[in-house]
Structure formats: C-alpha cells, structure tokens
C-alpha cells in the first residue's frame, strides 16, 4: 500500500491537476499543503484535485482543502475535487464539506467547473 | 468469539509517522470485536484524530514520549483509551460548543481548527479525559454497540 504520493499534470494552460494517492493524514498533509503553496507561488491558482486514489483522509487532510479553497479564491482562482472515494466522502459529509466544494467526475467536467 | 471480551494494547513513539500503525492496530481489533463493520472506519477516524492531536501537541517542548492505545471491548461497547505523558489537555472539555457550532460557516470561512474534536464527539458516544499528578493522561473514547438501557 502506498503511504502517500502526489503527481502533477497540466490539464490546460491555466489548470493544474493534482493526483493524490494513499493516506492524507496528520503525517502527510504538510506535503500536500506544500505542493499547493508551491503552485500558488508559481501563479497556478486553478486546481483540480483527483481524489480517486485517496484511501484515507483525516481532519488534517480535509483542512488542507479548506485552507486551499479560501487561498485560491483570494488569488482569483478556484479548486475542484474529482471522484472522492467512499472513506473521503464520508469525512467530507461529516464535516459539511460536500456542500462547500465543487466536485467533478471527469477532467473535462473539472475544466468546465473551473471556467465558471 | 465476538461475544467475549477483547483487550489489546499498542504503544508507539509519539510521532505522526506511526499513525498508520495505530489505524492498522484498530482495524485488526475491530475485526475481532462485535462492533458493526459499518462503524469501523468512523471509529478508526475518531481515534486517529485523538492520537494525532497527542502526537502533534502533547510533547511540544518536552522530551519525546510514547502514546499507548488500549482497546477494551465487549458485546455492549468498544472502548479505546489513549494514554500519554505529555502536556495535559482536556480534549473532552468545551466539546458541546464544538459539536453545535455552525460547521459549514466555520469551514467556509477557511477555519480548520477544532475539526478533529468535532469528529471525535460526532462519532463516539462518550468522550472523557483524566489527568492526575504522577499518572499518564488518559482520554477515553467509547462507542456503544448495544445502547445502555
């Protein structure tokens, strides 16, 4: 089982896709946070995050997205989450995040959401 | 087997790299208990939140220590005790206000604080904390299998 892995993909000239895999917990969330901060520093503020391979998320991991949402808006960007797994959905529902974030099931749909 | 009493114990260094070990230990204990599988992920999450809090903040400015996770379960309840020798922090206190806060407003404002505590209180039926001079701090989380009464 992978502990944690992040891969970046340029989905369009101004949209970056972050593929996340493994456990997003109090140990790994800082890598995720750092990755996003680095993208913001590069001016990449429109983000699509692929959660289809995240096996576990705790409040520390969810907190990264909460912080990212407001930071991206402040920079004129936005964030869309793709295909969260059941354990991730369960935590998002519990924390009321399912109503706060935009979700997509395909990269095309994510791009459309980020153009709004 | 599932009707008998189950006890198990894990002690790890108070470092977040050990959270995965704690979760694995809990999943294994839950499989041997009467706790319904539908509650497994939630209970593991609640305990992970509590242990992570201790690992991240319990030993700040102190010599690194350990965290003990003790499972005690029977046909009526699944109890987890989390013990440490770090700073005393009453996780159970103030929890009512955390549960009733407007969570959506809280997170929409970019506020991440208090989410772990919210999860603990939301998932578990009892949360209590004990800190006594000369003894390890102890946070007890209980999930009912059969509700009392």
Per-residue pLDDT tens digits for B78-102: 999 999 998 887 766 655 454 556 6
Rounded Cα gap, residues B69 and B16, in angstroms: 14
**B42/A66 Cβ within 8 A:** no
Selected for mutation to probe chain B from A2, A24, A26 (highest B CB count within 10 Å) is A26
Per-residue pLDDT tens digits for B1-23: 445 899 999 999 999 999 999 99
Tell me if A8 sits within 8 A of A20, measured CB to CB.
Answer: no
Domains of chain B: 6-144 (3.30.565.10)
* B102-128 burial code (b ≥16 CB/10 A, e <16): ebeebbbeebbebbbbbbbbbbbeebe
Nearest C-alpha in B relative to A27: B16
* Domain boundaries along the sequence of chain A: 4-111
Q: Where is B82: in which H helix or E strand?
A: strand B77-84
* CB proximity B17 to A under 8 Å: yes
Task: Grade residue B24 by pLDDT with cuts at 50, 70 and 90.
Answer: very high
**A87/B104 Cβ within 8 A:** no
* CB proximity A33 to B under 8 Å: no
- CATH architecture observed for domain A4-111: 2-Layer Sandwich (3.30)
Selected for mutation to probe chain A from B13, B18, B19 (highest A CB count within 10 Å) is B19
Rounded Cα gap, residues A99 and B6, in angstroms: 39
Minimal CA–CA distance to B122: which of B144, B147, B95? B95
* CB proximity A94 to B under 8 Å: yes
Phi-psi region of A8 (alpha: psi -120 to 50; beta: other; left: phi over 0): beta
**Which of the two residues, A50 and B63, has the higher pLDDT score?**
A50
Minimal CA–CA distance to B50: which of B30, B72, B80? B80
The tokens of B41 are what? 């992920």
What was the pLDDT predicted at B132?
83
Query: For the whole model, what pTM was predicted?
Result: 0.91
Minimal CA–CA distance to B79: which of B46, B114, B118? B46
């Amino acid at each position: 089982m992978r502990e944690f892995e992040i891969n970046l993909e340029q989905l369009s000239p101004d949209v970056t896709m972050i593929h996340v895999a493994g456990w997003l917990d109090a140990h790994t969330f800082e890598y995720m946070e750092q990755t996003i901060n680095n993208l913001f520093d590069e001016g990449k503020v429109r983000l699509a995050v692929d959660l289809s391979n995240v096996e576990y998320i705790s409040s520390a991991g969810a907190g990264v997205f909460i912080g990212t949402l407001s930071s991206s808006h402040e920079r004129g960007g936005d964030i869309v989450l793709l295909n969260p797994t059941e354990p991730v959905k369960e935590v998002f529902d519990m924390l009321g995040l399912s109503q706060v974030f935009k979700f997509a099931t395909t990269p095309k749909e994510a791009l459309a959401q980020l153009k709004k | 087997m599932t009707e008998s009493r189950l006890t198990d114990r894990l002690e790890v260094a108070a470092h977040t790299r050990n959270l995965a070990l704690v979760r694995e230990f809990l999943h294994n204990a839950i499989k041997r208990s009467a706790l319904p599988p539908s509650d497994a992920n939630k209970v593991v999450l609640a305990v992970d939140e509590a242990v992570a809090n201790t690992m991240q903040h319990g030993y700040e400015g102190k010599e690194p220590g350990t965290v003990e996770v003790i499972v005690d379960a029977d046909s009526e309840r699944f109890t987890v005790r989390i013990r440490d020798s770090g700073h005393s922090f009453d996780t159970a206190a103030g929890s009512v206000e955390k549960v009733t806060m407007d969570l959506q407003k809280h997170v929409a404002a970019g506020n991440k604080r208090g989410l772990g505590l919210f999860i603990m209180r939301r998932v578990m039926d009892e949360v209590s904390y004990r800190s006594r001079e000369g003894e390890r701090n102890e946070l007890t989380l209980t999930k009912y299998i059969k509700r009392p009464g």
